[in-house]
Amino acid sequence: MLFWQILIDGFAVGSLYALGAMGFALIFGVSGVLNLSHGALMVAAVVAAWAAGNDLHVGPYAGAAIGVLVGLVASLVTYFAVVRPLQNSQKIREDEKEIFILTATLLWGIMIQELIAYFYTNNAKTVSPIVGGVINIAGVRTPANELFTAIVCWIVIGVLWLLVNRTRAGKAVLAASMNPRGVTLLGIELPQIYIAVWAIYGVLIGVAGVLLGMFLGVSSYSVGPLTASAFSIVVLGGLGSVSGALIAAYVVGYLETMTAYLISPAYRTIPALLLLVVVMYVRPRGLLGRR
């Protein structure tokens, strides 16, 4: 019973983590940007979906769509207003740009967090679930919404895989993540790839955010922990490796779920962080890292 419970819950949590972290890994892999506003963008998507339901009285599907749309828009705004001006700046030395972008995205995240708290308070918000009720799986009363979360995550991951491996644009993105200079030699414009990647990222965090909002709920306080969890999953998986992030997400998801069930929910995040420290010592490039 407990075994099945952990298996099911860990899978749902891991799928959600995977979706959130894959976009984060993709952005880093392609453009070298560590986007510390990640959690804030996700929370923005959730709050938008929640507000659409409550203030505009739209249904759960429309609410979810608005949430994803806000994730996409927020991601593109982050790229055009925060990241790109710094990448193109002549005044900042090339080798200092990474740290400038890191700081800028962190501040941008704090700004979004404060704006959300100001307009929508820091109390937690949940998105109205698309599917309700519970399903009995191996004696475990599982919310249908939890299964829905895992299924949607895998559909989106599958679509992303097809996009990257089966389309020309996707292959260009993949190539750019391996060798940006090589891609430009092939006549592909890097800025276009960046825009495509930030758009994909926006959809990923929009979907992940809305699902998280339906499954567990978030508040403006979740901004930091969400960024931190994506960051540690991506570091664990290997910076820039999307498949590494996928595996690491499940490792962290199951480790957290097992801790919560077998030890105490209060210590939930600790073993995953310890694992991160161990991986940093033993294999600094992460599970599937190239760099």
Nearer to another protein, 131 or 174 (CB): 131
- Indicate which single residue of 216, 270, 273, 275 sits in contact with another protein (rule: CB under 8 A): 216
In this structure, the number of other CB atoms found within 10 A of the CB of residue 76 comes to 15
| Residue with token string 């099945």 | 4
**Binding segment (CB under 8 A) for another protein, from list 113-121, 158-166, 170-178, 190-198:** 113-121
If one asks whether residue 225 binds another protein (CB under 8 A), the answer comes out as yes
**Binding segment (CB under 8 A) for another protein, from list 78-86, 150-158, 220-228, 231-239:** 220-228
- Indicate which single residue of 3, 4, 61, 118 sits in contact with another protein (rule: CB under 8 A): 118
3-state secondary structure 125-148: ECCCCCCCCEEEECCEEEEHHHHH
How many helices and strands in the chain, by DSSP H and E?
Answer: 12, 2
Nearer to another protein, 87 or 229 (CB): 229
* 91 class by beta-carbon count within 10 Å (0-12 exposed, 13-18 middle, 19+ buried): exposed
Nearer to another protein, 127 or 176 (CB): 127
Alpha-carbon dihedral angle through residues 275, 143, 40, 85, given to the nearest 10 degrees: 90
Q: What Å distances lie between residue 66 and 63, 149, 280, CA to CA?
A: 5, 17, 39
- Indicate which single residue of 37, 105, 177, 222 sits in contact with another protein (rule: CB under 8 A): 222
Give me the least distance between CB of 82 and another protein, in Å please: 24
- Indicate which single residue of 75, 145, 227, 232 sits in contact with another protein (rule: CB under 8 A): 145
If one asks whether residue 260 binds another protein (CB under 8 A), the answer comes out as yes
- The gap from C-alpha 249 to its chain's centroid, in whole angstroms, comes to 10
Give me the least distance between CB of 123 and another protein, in Å please: 5
Closest CA to 51 of 120, 4, 152: 120
Closest CA to 11 of 153, 139, 131: 153
Cβ 44 vs Cβ 71: under 8 Å = yes
Q: Which one-letter amino acid corresponds to residue 47?
A: V
- Indicate which single residue of 93, 141, 166, 181 sits in contact with another protein (rule: CB under 8 A): 141
Q: Which secondary-structure segment (H or E) carries 134? A: strand 134-137
Number of residues binding to another protein, judged by CB under 8 A: 36
| Residue with token string 């097809």 | 162
If one asks whether residue 266 binds another protein (CB under 8 A), the answer comes out as yes
If one asks whether residue 137 binds another protein (CB under 8 A), the answer comes out as no
If one asks whether residue 129 binds another protein (CB under 8 A), the answer comes out as yes
Nearer to another protein, 219 or 241 (CB): 219
- Indicate which single residue of 75, 219, 232, 241 sits in contact with another protein (rule: CB under 8 A): 219
- Indicate which single residue of 31, 78, 177, 220 sits in contact with another protein (rule: CB under 8 A): 220
Give me the least distance between CB of 252 and another protein, in Å please: 13
If one asks whether residue 93 binds another protein (CB under 8 A), the answer comes out as no
Tokens of 138: 């191996």
| Residue with token string 């996707």 | 170
Closest CA to 213 of 282, 141, 135, 130: 130
* Chain contacts with another protein (rule: CB under 8 A): 5, 9, 13, 53-54, 117-118, 121-129, 132-134, 141, 143, 145-146, 216-220, 222, 225, 257, 260-261, 265-266, 268
